[in-house]
Structures are given as structure tokens and as C-alpha cells.
Amino acid sequence: MRIAYQGVEGAYSEAAALRFNPNADPVPRVSFDEVFTAVEARQATHGILPIENTIGGTIHRNYDLMLEHELQIVAEVKHPIAHNLIVCRGTTLDQVRRVYSHPQGLAQCERFLQTLKDVEIVATYDTAGSAKMIKEGELSDSAAIASERAAQVFDLEILETSVQDFADNFTRFLIISRDAVPLGKPNKTTIVFTVSNIAGALFKALSVFALRDIDLTKLESRPIPNRPFEYLFYADIAANRDELRCARALMHLAEFAPSLRTLGSYPAWTD
């Protein structure tokens, strides 16, 4: 199992891939777009995408990419996120003038970062990539917000541990594949749909699940490109799409939704 992920060795996505399958072969890619390309080009059997964090919220770019591509969600994994302030060996806290990390990493450590005086906060493409940049550039006046493994990989020093705003910090990742066969018994389904811009349209759409006692575990709206102030709705449904009540709910939803697409039916992560 080759799993493409965004980042470099030591990234949280790599750790999540190995949490899902300890025997997997993680394949690093620079961007989320390249993760999709790697799977479509058969350079990897699967891809892994962070989709939401308990502090930072939704990673909207990956919702948009799911719509742009035809890959299916076949599994999910939840991974604990513990951020650390990482520096070149010998650098002290009072020497730090810049802190680099992915925007999500920075958002999850906002309270800690506010305690640092006269320090520039710089967003980068990756947490582990920030650690790599500090190592390769020998930046003795800079720090990265990244994982403990990133510090080990790049032989850096951890100045402060667990600097995230809340101890219970988790990210949910989706596993995507060309093959729609779920990696386990499916009990969760992700869909994307639109509704007409008329009174009660969204209420009617969601009622198809309430009438059948189907739980919606997440509902997210995203703008529709080139259609100002019109929206797509992404929903996670606590049911297998092939289950009779879910299948009927989706057929009922199609009566109200001008467009409806199932992005995958897969096993919910239980660990």
C-alpha cells in the first residue's frame, strides 16, 4: 500500500498514514493537488488528506479538490496532533525572531504564539517542511511549529513541547483511491449537493435524513466557483450508502437537489 501525502518526512500526514497502516509506504508530495495526481497517475495506490482539525477547523482546499477529481473516499483515520517549538541546536528562546509553520499549525498554537514578543509569524506550506528549512538554512534565529518526529528527522532541538492551544488536538484524515471499494465495512458516507435558492430548500433536503433517523455528523458549505453567493453543501452521514434507509434518503434528496454526488462510503475511525 503506497500512500501519497502532502509534506516531507516527519509531516503529520505521514504519521497518520502509518497510523492507518503501519506497513504502508508513504510517498511525499509538495501539495495536496499533487497527492491527487499521484493517485490518478498510479504513482500511489492511495492518498491521505487532512480534512478537519478540532482546533483549526476544516481544511477547505481538500473539499474543493474532492469535487475537482473523481477519486473516492475509502477510509478515514484520526490522529492526535502535538505541536512543538523546534530550533537549531543551541538556539535559545530569546534568540528566536521568526516562527514558521503551516497556517493550520499556527492557528492551533495561537495562544502560545501570542506570548512571544517581537517575533514574526510566517506561514509556510508544511509543518515538517518548516523544520527542514530551518535545518538546511541553519537559521539560528528561527523556529518551526512541527512534530517531535520532524525534530528527530532533521536533528533539531525541541524548545517547548505541546504548544497547541488545547491538549485534545486531533485531525481527521481521509484516505482516497481510484478504486471505490472501502477499506473495511462502511458505516459512513460523504456526499456533496446543491439546493435551489428558495425558501425552505435546505430544510427539505436535510429532512430526508431526519425522517429516517439518520445522523448527520458534519455539514459544511462551500462557495460554487463562478457563481457568486451560491453554495455547495458537504455532509457526512452516519450510514452506509447501500443500507436501505440511506439509499432511500439519497433518492429522496435527489428530488430537492439539482446536483448530488457521493464522494465515498467507508468505515468510520473508531480508535
Give per-residue pLDDT as tens, 123-144: 998 899 999 999 999 999 999 9
Q: How confident is the model at residue 225 (pLDDT cuts 50, 70, 90)?
A: confident
| Residue pLDDT, tens place only, 171-194 | 999 999 999 999 999 999 999 999
Residues that are catalytic: 171, 173
What pLDDT score does 177 carry? 97
Write out the three cell numbers for 49: 488528506
Give the C-alpha separation, 182 to 185, whole Å.
7
Q: Residue 260: enclosing H or E segment and its boundaries?
A: strand 260-266
Location of C-alpha cell 482539525: 53
Angle at which helices 12-20 and 127-137 pack, to 10 degrees? 130
Location of C-alpha cell 503529520: 12
C-alpha 62: how far from chain center:
7
Taken in order of first residue, the domains within the chain and their CATH numbers are 2-81+169-177 (3.40.190.10), 84-160 (3.40.190.10), 189-264 (3.30.70.260)
What pLDDT score does 213 carry? 96
Give the C-alpha separation, 12 to 156, whole Å.
17
| Residue pLDDT, tens place only, 17-26 | 999 999 999 9
Query: Given a cut of 90, is residue 265 above it in pLDDT?
Result: yes
